[in-house]
Structure 1
Amino acid sequence: MFRSFLLPLLAASASIAAPIEERATAPAVTIQNGTVVGSISSGVDSFKGIPFAQPPTGTLRLKPPHTITATYGTITATGTPTACPQFASQVDTTNIPSDVLGTLLDSPIGQAIEVEGEDCLTMNVQRPSGTTSSSKLPVILWIFGGGFEAGSTANNDGSNFVSESVKLGQPVIYVSVNYRLGGFGFLAGSDLANEHSTNLGLRDQRLGLQWAQENIAAFGGDPTKVTIWGESAGAISVFDQTVINGGDNTYKGKPMFRGAIMDSGSIVAADTVTAPQAQNVYDTVVANAGCSGSSDKLACLRALPYEQYLTAANSVPGIFSYRSLDLSYLPRPDPGDNFYSVSPEVSVTDGAFTKVPIIIGDQKDEGTLFSLVQSNITTNAQLITYLASYFPGNPNAVADVTALVSNYPDQPLLGQPAGSPFDTGSLNNIYPEFKRLAAILGDVTFTLTRRTYLSLVSSQVHSWSYLSSYFQGLAVLGTFHASDVIFAYGDLGETSVETQSIQTYYISFVNSLDPNTISTASPLIQWPQWTNASGSPQLLNFQATQNTLITDNFRQGAYNELSTSTSRFRV
């Protein structure tokens, strides 16, 4: 009886409350190019799809981004922003267990893009309702991941993060930037190098950072308190933003960011934009675009209809193909252009990077996601051959890979932490070399490279590092790459230990450049800085029910191989 009475009452209350929110005055902010009208929901103002560059279409395709100089009057920034063109490659699902596929489709990896197109260079801004131009709130600027092939600002709504910052008494403004991907943003080759039109996706991000410096104060943000944050390719991009222009992160004489958070990504050592593997990708795209016979191949590519160029750009291997993390598209050094002139490990070794506090960490099983489809690799010799093919510029790749692979037992046994998903012994080995390949790809691309990076920079900048293991025991995938995004954004609710921990530590860092200033009460603990001084650097271990500290010394033999000369493993 009580239930039958209460439900209609609640329904009626909801129907009354919704229009009240809708009738609230829409937030509007005047910036350099015009007035932006947003929306309000649950105490958060959202402005989505604000243009920050001219549409990179027609003759501006495959060109560095151009600043908007004209005014655009009043624009309504309330819809779903157009995503930059996606490189959607189909995964061979025949040998992947159905429960693993289900997990992937429900994760950030499986998120669909609703609208995509070339006119995509826009920013999102989300802030606590009531924020004014005099609020001067710290800013967190998100760079999404997706292997430099996929992703969009539309994938990650910052409302929950902003709301949590308000609850913690440390409000922040959330900003995110769209950037060009795949063959639109990271095509290389000599033709593009000759006109300095390389690493366009990084240039888009840079212009987005400059836009924030020019305009975020109007939204109530403090341009002197910007922290850049990214995951996967976004984390690699955050790192790259610290080495661009020789580590100079200033705009009009002022720093564009004062802190950096890198979730699963840092140094990716790479051969140049004119290396054979990069040129081969360009030549393949040109051929499939029908431009091989043109006297001006770039002009031909720029003149193609959008769909035709998209098809050609996506005709090379994708991240979930057999080539996996041997990416067709990624940032590559362009020696003829100061913007990104050397392989990033050189910049770090030379001290040519922005000296700002950092948080950086990994998921325990970074490589499982990228090792699902190589089921024909069944022997040690085949594994070495496959991995050595990732490094065509290294004449000693076979010997170097052989030495590296020897640190990972061929038959992982219970108690041996050598195969990923780690600490599961002989379980989850869906094909004979799966666990070894997953361990090696994860370590080379993410986990042990993170330690190499920290060993080079931690004496110069305040550094905190972590390892996530909250999905320990999840079949085949373990704590897989990108699984942290659902917690960082509160997608599974605000009460989980992981969400409380990540959001609190990060909000603290954005406000004070120290993750420990808001709280260290359970489930949080004091997070020590990462340092080599004692020989036992400490990692925060995000677990399902608690946080602990562990020593960052696992798989030391493999780390020694990788850290002695990162340049040997340039892709």
Structure 2
Amino acid sequence: MKKLVLLFTFSISFSAQAQTETNNPKVITQNGIVRGLNDGESSVFKGIPFAAPPVGEFRWRPPQPVKNWEGELDATKPCKDCAQSGFGPNAPKMNPNSSEDCLFLNVWKPASATKNSKLPVMVWIYGGGFVAGSASSPQNYGHSLNKNGVILVNVNYRLGRMGFFAHPALSKEHADEFKGNYAYMDQIAALQWVQKNISEFGGDPKNVTIFGFSAGGVSVHSLLTIPSTKGLFHKVISHSGGGRDGVLTGRPINKEDADTFYKVSAETIGKNFATAKGIEGIDAEALAKLRALPADSIIDGGRETNGENGPRIYSGPIFDGKLVTQTAETAYLTGKQPKIPMILGNCSAENGREFVNNTRSKDDLFVLFGDLGAEAKAAYDPDGDKKFEEVIAKFNSDWVWAEPARMAARATLANGSPAYIFQFGYVPVAAQQRSPYGAGHGSDISFAFNTLNARWGQQGEPTAVEKELANVMCAYWANFAKTGNPNTEGLPKWPVYNNQNYDMLDIEMDGKIVAKPDPRKARLDVIEKAVKYRSKIQTRGI
């Protein structure tokens, strides 16, 4: 009888332990054990540090190594977002869900994946104008990608002036280190973490795709053309990421009169910011005072506060000459980017008036094209009957996103790799009165992830059309991660882009998926010709 009791007790104990292991999977990383959570068919690991906290002496330094930990790291709870401003008129100065201590990533893997699975890996880089964003947004959860046989990694990176900052005192300190582009350094450190650790989660470090939206899409272009990223990824997808220098900031660290859109150097911008905070000088004492500033006094959205009438204190990506040795556009036009398959696309009506260009009428817009004005009018308003709101929405989308993406696709083809172009135009029926000219910035993201219930402003159950579109798009993205080709049996054929037929995938306003020659060709052609007028057609970036 005693033996039976002992056997029964052991059985219960073993079952409880097995259940715990099933509900809380564990993975051994190079820094220690992480304990995640099974979430349906996915195992999720949240808040894994990939670098030391970038605080104190590590503020405005490249990511530093993580210290190993003992025992198990609880990876079941979301980490803080990187320091950023609060939202809304009554919001606190700094978003309470953000912190300067933020260099963490999240891993989503199929629950059945083992160390020997060698699944393709997708690394997501969020958007937000380089001043906002989150690696933990439900819109970017990995359940559907996992169901399609892909591991997802979402990464945090420093934002605003925490992520992009230069100052003469920083340039003197640790002279051998990269300077200025700390956000890009964070992204690279996360990709290095993937190379070292993802096989333990069942991923293949030799089959990594990076993809991102808006500022994340810009980051994709930048990472592709930064020499030190070689071997860290093998395919790229850029959502609304442009590709020309008008999107990637081109300010050198300390050269005032460079041939760039921004004539003020990043160091001067840093000095102007310090002066605005009452900090003068360019020595170690000034740097110590800058590092002593509370985080909420640094994250002000990173934008110019005084415009043309005051000192420039804007923060954004920097052409530093060491980490970023060339702009993406320069790399593409000279064929210096690596041979990597690419998906590029944007929404059909990214943003309306004043987001990119602040002209007030069609005539004012076409005048900016100079001698190409008649051609621009013929492309955008051939019969003269289109509303200005439609023309400016299409122009903004083409100028910042669609034409630069076409340029990058052509460069990819010329370099011997395939490129796939898409335009996302789906607008729910209930929103078509509000968005009559097409889909706005970021409308495609929840479809690529198949996270429709997490869409901003989502009301009610997704429709059958939306569910089918999301299933197809998520499958395309997963297929591309697996093979570099989004196509597989059962999906509408997505043609490779070419310079003869200009084939692309057009997702129309009603959700219909159509492969066809690019209907924007005439518009993009005149935009391409007008690139030399960029100094006149003022853009405000993303």
* Contact 2:424–2:439 under 8 Å retained in 1: yes
**Which structure 2 residue ranges, 5 or more long, are not aligned?**
1-17, 257-262, 454-461
CA distance in 1, matches of 2:193, 2:404: 31
Match of 2:318 in 1: 332
Q: Judging changes above 3 Å, is the alpha-carbon distance between structure 1 residues 199 and 121 closer, same or farther for their aligned structure 2 residues?
A: same
Deviates most, 285-294 or 209-218? 285-294
Q: Judging changes above 3 Å, is the alpha-carbon distance between structure 1 residues 454 and 404 closer, same or farther for their aligned structure 2 residues?
A: farther
* SS in structure 2 of the partner of residue 498 of structure 1: helix
* SS in structure 1 of the partner of residue 98 of structure 2: coil
Match of 1:504 in 2: 475
Match of 1:65 in 2: 63
Cα shift readout 1:29-49 (whole Å, capped 9, x = no counterpart): 111001101111111111011
Cα shift readout 1:122-147 (whole Å, capped 9, x = no counterpart): 11001111221111111111111111
**Which structure 1 residue ranges, 5 or more long, are not aligned?**
1-19, 92-111, 385-398, 417-423
Match of 1:492 in 2: 452
Counterpart amino acid of 2:235? Answer: G
Cα-Cα RMSD? 3.7
Write the mapping of 1:42-441 to structure 2, written as runs, cut at 5 A. Answer: 42-88=40-86, 115-156=97-138, 158-159=140-141, 161-163=142-144, 165-166=146-147, 170-188=148-166, 192=170, 195=175, 196-245=178-227, 249-250=229-230, 255-269=231-245, 270-274=249-253, 275=256, 276-279=263-266, 281-292=269-280, 295-296=283-284, 297-311=286-300, 314=302, 316-317=304-305, 328-335=314-321, 337=322, 339-368=323-352, 371=355, 377-378=359-360, 402=370, 408-409=376-377, 425-426=386-387, 429=388, 434-441=389-396
* Contact 1:249–1:354 under 8 Å retained in 2: no
CA distance in 2, matches of 1:258, 1:54: 27
Counterpart amino acid of 1:559? Answer: I
CA distance in 2, matches of 1:367, 1:322: 24
Per-residue deviation, 1:156: 4.2
Counterpart amino acid of 1:198? Answer: G
CA distance in 2, matches of 1:49, 1:81: 5
Per-residue deviation, 1:231: 1.0
* Contact 2:43–2:111 under 8 Å retained in 1: yes
* Contact 2:145–2:151 under 8 Å retained in 1: no
CA distance in 2, matches of 1:292, 1:315: 21
CA distance in 1, matches of 2:35, 2:353: 40
Per-residue deviation, 1:565: 8.8
CA distance in 2, matches of 1:231, 1:189: 29
The answer to whether residue 445 in structure 2 is matched with residue 461 in structure 1 is: no
CA distance in 1, matches of 2:132, 2:99: 12
* SS in structure 1 of the partner of residue 299 of structure 2: helix
Write the mapping of 1:523-534 to structure 2, written as runs, cut at 5 A. Answer: 524-532=491-499, 534=500
Per-residue deviation, 1:193: 5.2
Counterpart amino acid of 2:158? Answer: R
Q: Judging changes above 3 Å, is the alpha-carbon distance between structure 1 residues 30 and 405 closer, same or farther for their aligned structure 2 residues?
A: farther
Task: Provide the TM-score with structure 1 as the length reference.
Answer: 0.75
Per-residue deviation, 1:328: 3.5
* Contact 2:145–2:474 under 8 Å retained in 1: yes
* SS in structure 2 of the partner of residue 222 of structure 1: strand
CA distance in 1, matches of 2:363, 2:87: 28
* Contact 1:190–1:273 under 8 Å retained in 2: no
Counterpart amino acid of 1:215? Answer: N
Q: Judging changes above 3 Å, is the alpha-carbon distance between structure 1 residues 221 and 278 closer, same or farther for their aligned structure 2 residues?
A: same
Aligned length, in residue pairs: 481
Cα shift readout 1:335-375 (whole Å, capped 9, x = no counterpart): 2x1x212222111222221211111111111232863995x
Q: Judging changes above 3 Å, is the alpha-carbon distance between structure 1 residues 66 and 363 closer, same or farther for their aligned structure 2 residues?
A: same
The answer to whether residue 503 in structure 2 is matched with residue 538 in structure 1 is: yes
Per-residue deviation, 1:511: 1.4
Per-residue deviation, 1:439: 3.4
Per-residue deviation, 1:559: 2.8
CA distance in 2, matches of 1:514, 1:453: 17
Counterpart amino acid of 2:296? Answer: E
